[in-house]
Amino acid sequence: MAKKRLYLVYFSPSGSTEKIVKMVANEIANLDEFEVEKINLLYSANRKKKYHFTKDDLVVFGCASAGKLFTLSEEMFECLQAKETPFIGLITYGNAYYGIAIKEMFERANKSGFSVVSLGAFISRRSIDMSLAHDRPDASDLEIIKNFAKKSYEKFLSGDFALHDELKTGWGDWELGKQVIAYRQEHPEVPYTLPPEYKSKEISDACKKCGTCVKNCPTDAIDIENKIFDLDKCIACWACINHCVQHAIKSTSKEFMDIVDSFVKASGRRQEPSLFF
């Protein structure tokens, strides 16, 4: 009999989401025999392909969150074509809040033909400035991640491919977040994109033009020869900044950094993973 297929699919600009997807998948792979395949949706070339999944496959999907899924989520899910394929979904966030990301993931996965078995919002180091959650996931998170994987797989084996828990938004201690969600619910037509002035960056003389930032930019927004960013294409995912070996790229947006500071002030309390089955 052919082995079952386990797919690891992720959009992980700075690597933490990929790490947690692998933790979940490793736990599942310890429980059964699988053929494992990885699909890295950070690369625009991969998002241009089509991936077809059957009812017998199992997909573990992870996406970083910015209070919602990153701007490319529609494109990400469009390249995934499922037929009632069981889906274990995770989002990661940097100890502030995951906002509406879990709900969005549920909706998008259903639209692509997946059957959502379980969802989890996990805390990982905050990619913007590393000032929050720099040691997450820690040992306590790992236990929760392992149990999440085990319970998800048991549910998958039982043939129950439906989500029963009520999905919740998560706003941490950030009061303003509750107002943001109310506004977004009233105005679904407003796109979630940052204006260009929030995305401005500069590349210092330490840059050796090695091309690592270009390779990891999900929207091909970097002209490294001229050290220019196309800020209309940039989605502010921080991949270029965190992948740069020389630490030569930094944000120059005071507007954005002011918002970041307000998040940090509102994010003192340790958040714990939220799980939905």
Ligand X SMILES: Cc1cc2nc3c(=O)[nH]c(=O)nc-3n(C[C@H](O)[C@H](O)[C@H](O)COP(=O)(O)O)c2cc1C
The contact set with ligand X (CB under 6 A) reads 12-17, 64-67, 92-97, 124-128, 236-238
Q: Supply the minimum distance, in Å, between the C-beta of residue 120 and ligand X.
A: 13
* Closer residue to ligand X in complex, CB, 156/217: 217
* Closer residue to ligand X in complex, CB, 14/112: 14
* Closer residue to ligand X in complex, CB, 98/106: 98
* Closer residue to ligand X in complex, CB, 138/154: 138
* Closer residue to ligand X in complex, CB, 60/237: 237
Q: Supply the minimum distance, in Å, between the C-beta of residue 65 and ligand X.
A: 5
Q: Supply the minimum distance, in Å, between the C-beta of residue 64 and ligand X.
A: 3
* Closer residue to ligand X in complex, CB, 17/152: 17
Give a three-class secondary structure readout of the chain: CCCEEEEEEEECCCCHHHHHHHHHHHHHHCCCCEEEEEEECCCHHHHCCCEEECCCCEEEEEEEECCCECCCHHHHHHCEEECCEEEEEEEEECCCCCECHHHHHHHHHHHCCEEEEEEEEEECCCCCCCCCCCCCCCHHHHHHHHHHHHHHHHHHHHCCCCCCCCCCCECCCCHHHHHHHHHHHHCCCCCCCCCHHHCCEEECCCCCCCCHHHHHCCCCCEECCCCEECCCCCCCCCHHHHHCCCCCEEECCHHHHHHHHHHHHCCCCCCCCEEEC
Q: Supply the minimum distance, in Å, between the C-beta of residue 94 and ligand X.
A: 3
Q: Supply the minimum distance, in Å, between the C-beta of residue 79 and ligand X.
A: 19
Q: Supply the minimum distance, in Å, between the C-beta of residue 42 and ligand X.
A: 9
